[in-house]
């Protein structure tokens, strides 16, 4: 590329600048994506850590609530605290409402966090944070006087086993679980507890009947709730059915609800009575269970001994490291891109300079690499070479056409001039000579027209099945007189009965050119053989002569335009030089091939391979 041409290219459109801009954008995007990924990953990790911490907090609260539900005080909770602290890595402390320490996993004297995390009270459990808590807010593990004795558990387990076997006879799979009080519960394998009509079929009343321990506790509960029920306008002697949300049972007031609705005589009155009864029973149950549970305690949670949660902070040093790393990435990217871009641009500039050279110089470029740019340089050199060869062929074609047209035109002009001057009489012999020269001109023009049509792809073919034997007979008859005049024997031969899929007119033209060429180059007494044979989906046509043959160095050029073996260009022994090129072009247009073999002094063989056709009627 010249300096002036390079100056005409805007800076923003130069390949080097565009590569640098692209590299900078890629680097910036890479740094931004890396930073985003780091922040996202850190945020996700923090969230997961927070979620794990919340799960640990819930587990700690559940474990301590369970301890309080099964112990009347906090005397032995220190071992449980140490285990929970070791497993979760949290500092755990229990105090009374006035912050009197009860137990602490941290060393003595460590300050408490400013706010308590929760209150541990099994009789007033947070329903939303305590897994398994009753709707009434009581930890289900608080059973107190409702805990069954070992003998009662054995009896109920036997009843539950009979019930389970009964369901099994009806094809229902069940499982037996135990409530904290020790009462067995028969439930379906999928977790359900309702069996419809089978509950009556497989029940004899013993399964839901309270045991003596439970009956004693229910009597005490009824006595405790009698005053409240009386003040609420309810019958204090109303039977308190077992299963009405009592400790150690799995139901929540369903039986009691039905009884109150029936007693109140309507849905709304029944619901109001049920709510009043539930309030009285809940208050009486808290009084009844209070001696069996530990007193309420405040729960404080922290991290290790510091009591403060870690916090991720972007320090100035970290910011400096990120900025430095980003700057280094940008600098390396720009440097590498500049080097690579320069190596890429250099051969492109050489190609541009070669392309801008005058057309007659056919400049080449050196191939220095084997990458895409080197392949492009090789393609450019091949294009320049083909261009140079085509230019030489064009010049030779113009020269040959001028030569072919000049000779007959010169003869016609000369004879017309001497006739006009009265030097020669226009007799029949002169007119015949002029007619012969006009025919030569017409033949050259027709040949050039056929070649031009074939090159442009506008040559029209009218294909049809053509019998090979008839075609050979027609060609031989057309050239029999010329062969006899030259003293050459012309014979034909057909192996089988092949058919061509071709244009019969063009086919006769092709074979006619080959026969004419063979007769012209065969001495008197020689033979020209025209034969055909089938070869799969092809029909092979051979025109063999016993003439002088073609030299090995000339054989590759026999199908070139205006080529003659005689360098003198004389038409005494050679034609216009267009017959064989027309044969090749017409053969290619039919989808076939043309080739020539020769032995100097023994003759030549021209072979055409053309598409075969099925004889009509053989469908």
Segment 51-63, tens digit of pLDDT: 777 788 888 888 8
pLDDT band of 381, cuts 50, 70, 90: confident
pLDDT band at 268 (very low <50, low <70, confident <90, very high): low
pLDDT of res. 540: 93
* Rounded mean pLDDT, 312-326: 64
In the prediction, which pLDDT does 499 show? 92
The DSSP string of 83-144 is: HHHHHH-EEEEEE-TT--EEEESSPTTPPPPSS-SEEE-TTS--TTTSTT--TTS--TT--G
Q: Which of 53-67, 486-500, 545-559 shows the highest mean pLDDT?
A: 486-500
Percent of the chain with pLDDT over 90: 9
DSSP code of residue 188: E
Task: Convert the pLDDT of each residue in 239-253 to its tens digit.
Answer: 665 554 555 554 433
- Other CB atoms within a 10 A radius of the CB of residue 404 amount to 24
What tens digit of pLDDT does each residue of 560-580 get? 766 665 554 444 444 556 778
Write the pLDDT tens digit of every residue in 202-220. Answer: 766 677 788 898 888 888 8
Share of the chain above pLDDT 70, in %: 76
pLDDT surpasses 50 at 550: yes
Query: Would the pLDDT of 365 be above 90?
Result: no
CB neighbourhood size of 193 (10 A): 12
Measure the CA–CA gap between 140 and 289, rounded to whole angstroms: 12
Q: Kindly indicate the confidence band of residue 257, based on its pLDDT and cuts at 50, 70 and 90.
A: very low
Angle at 604 between CA 598 and CA 606, to 5 degrees: 100
Q: What is the pLDDT of residues 513-539, one digit of tens each?
A: 888 888 988 999 999 999 999 988 899
pLDDT number for residue 219: 84
Confidence of residue 460 (pLDDT cuts 50, 70, 90): confident
Between the ranges 139-153, 342-356, 418-432, where is the mean pLDDT highest?
Answer: 139-153
Instruction: With H, G, I as helix, E, B as strand and everything else as coil, classify residue 426.
Output: coil
281 with 234: CB under 8 angstroms?
A: no
The SS3 of residue 4 is: helix
Instruction: Assess contact for 522 and 546: CB atoms under 8 A.
Output: yes
Answer whether 0.75 is exceeded by the pTM.
no
Dig out the tokens for 98 from the structure: 């006035």
Predicted local distance difference test score (pLDDT) of residue 366:
81
Question: What is the reported pLDDT for 351?
Answer: 78
First-last CA distance in the chain: 65
**Full set of structural domains in the chain with CATH:** 1-113+303-356 (no CATH), 144-292 (no CATH), 460-611 (3.30.565.10)
Residues 390-441 have pLDDT tens digits of 777 677 667 666 766 776 787 788 888 888 887 877 788 778 777 877 876 7
Distance, C-alpha 428 to centroid of its chain: 85
> Residue 606 has what pLDDT?
92
Mean pLDDT, residues 178-195:
76
Mean pLDDT across the chain, nearest whole number?
Answer: 77
């Amino acid at each position: 590329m010249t300096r002036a041409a390079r100056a005409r290219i805007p800076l923003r459109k130069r390949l080097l600048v565009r590569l640098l801009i692209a590299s900078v954008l890629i680097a910036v995007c890479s740094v931004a994506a890396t930073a985003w990924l780091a922040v996202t990953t850190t945020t996700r990790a923090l969230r997961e850590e927070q979620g794990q911490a919340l799960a640990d907090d819930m587990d700690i609260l559940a474990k301590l609530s369970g301890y309080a539900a099964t112990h009347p005080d906090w005397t032995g909770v220190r071992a449980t605290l140490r285990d929970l602290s070791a497993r979760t890595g949290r500092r755990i402390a229990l105090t009374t409402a006035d912050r009197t320490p009860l137990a602490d996993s941290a060393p003595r004297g460590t300050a408490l966090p400013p706010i308590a995390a929760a209150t541990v009270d099994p009789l007033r459990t947070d329903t939303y944070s305590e897994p398994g808590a009753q709707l009434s807010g009581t930890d289900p593990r608080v059973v107190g006087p409702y805990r069954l004795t070992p003998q009662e558990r054995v009896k109920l387990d036997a009843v539950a086993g009979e019930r389970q076997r009964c369901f099994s006879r009806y094809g229902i799979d069940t499982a037996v679980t135990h409530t904290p009080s020790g009462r067995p519960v028969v439930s379906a394998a999928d977790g359900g507890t309702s069996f419809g009509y089978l509950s009556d079929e497989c029940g004899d009343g013993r399964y839901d009947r309270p045991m003596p321990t439970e009956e004693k506790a229910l009597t005490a509960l009824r006595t405790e709730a009698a005053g409240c029920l009386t003040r609420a306008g309810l019958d204090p002697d109303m039977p308190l059915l077992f299963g009405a949300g009592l400790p150690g049972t799995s139901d929540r007031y369903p039986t009691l609800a039905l009884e109150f609705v029936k007693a109140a005589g309507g849905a709304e009155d029944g619901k109001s009575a049920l709510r009043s009864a539930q309030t009285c029973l809940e208050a009486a149950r808290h009084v009844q269970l209070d001696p069996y549970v530990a007193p309420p305690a405040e729960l404080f949670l922290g991290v290790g001994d510091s009591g403060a949660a870690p916090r991720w902070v972007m320090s100035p040093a970290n910011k400096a490291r990120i900025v430095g790393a980003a700057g280094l990435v940008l600098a390396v990217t720009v440097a590498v891109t500049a080097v690579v871009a320069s190596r890429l641009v250099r051969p492109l500039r050489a190609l541009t300079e070669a392309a801008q050279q005058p057309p007659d110089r056919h400049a080449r470029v050196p191939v220095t690499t084997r990458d895409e740019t080197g392949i492009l340089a090789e393609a450019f050199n091949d294009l320049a070479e083909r261009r140079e060869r085509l230019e030489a062929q064009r010049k030779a074609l113009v020269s040959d056409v001028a030569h072919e047209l000049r000779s007959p035109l010169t003869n016609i002009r000369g004879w017309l001039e001497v006739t006009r001057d009265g030097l020669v009489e226009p007799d029949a012999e002169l007119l015949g000579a002029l007619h012969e020269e006009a025919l030569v001109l017409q033949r050259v023009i027709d040949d050039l027209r056929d070649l031009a049509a074939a090159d442009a792809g506008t040559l029209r073919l009218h294909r049809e099945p053509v019998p090979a034997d008839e075609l050979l007979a027609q060609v031989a008859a057309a050239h029999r007189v010329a062969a006899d005049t030259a003293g050459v024997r012309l014979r034909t031969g057909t192996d089988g009965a092949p058919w061509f899929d071709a244009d019969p007119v063009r086919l006769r033209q092709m074979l006619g050119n080959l026969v004419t060429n063979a007769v012209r180059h065969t001495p008197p007494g020689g033979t020209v053989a025209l034969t055909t044979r089938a070869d799969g989906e092809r029909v092979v046509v051979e025109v063999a002569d016993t003439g002088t043959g073609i030299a090995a160095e000339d054989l590759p050029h026999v199908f070139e335009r205006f080529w003659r073996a005689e360098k003198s260009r004389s038409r005494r022994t050679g034609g216009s030089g267009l017959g064989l090129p027309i044969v090749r072009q017409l053969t290619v247009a039919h989808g076939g091939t043309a080739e020539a073999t020769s032995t100097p002094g023994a003759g030549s063989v021209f072979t055409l391979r053309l598409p075969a056709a099925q004889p009509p009627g053989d469908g």
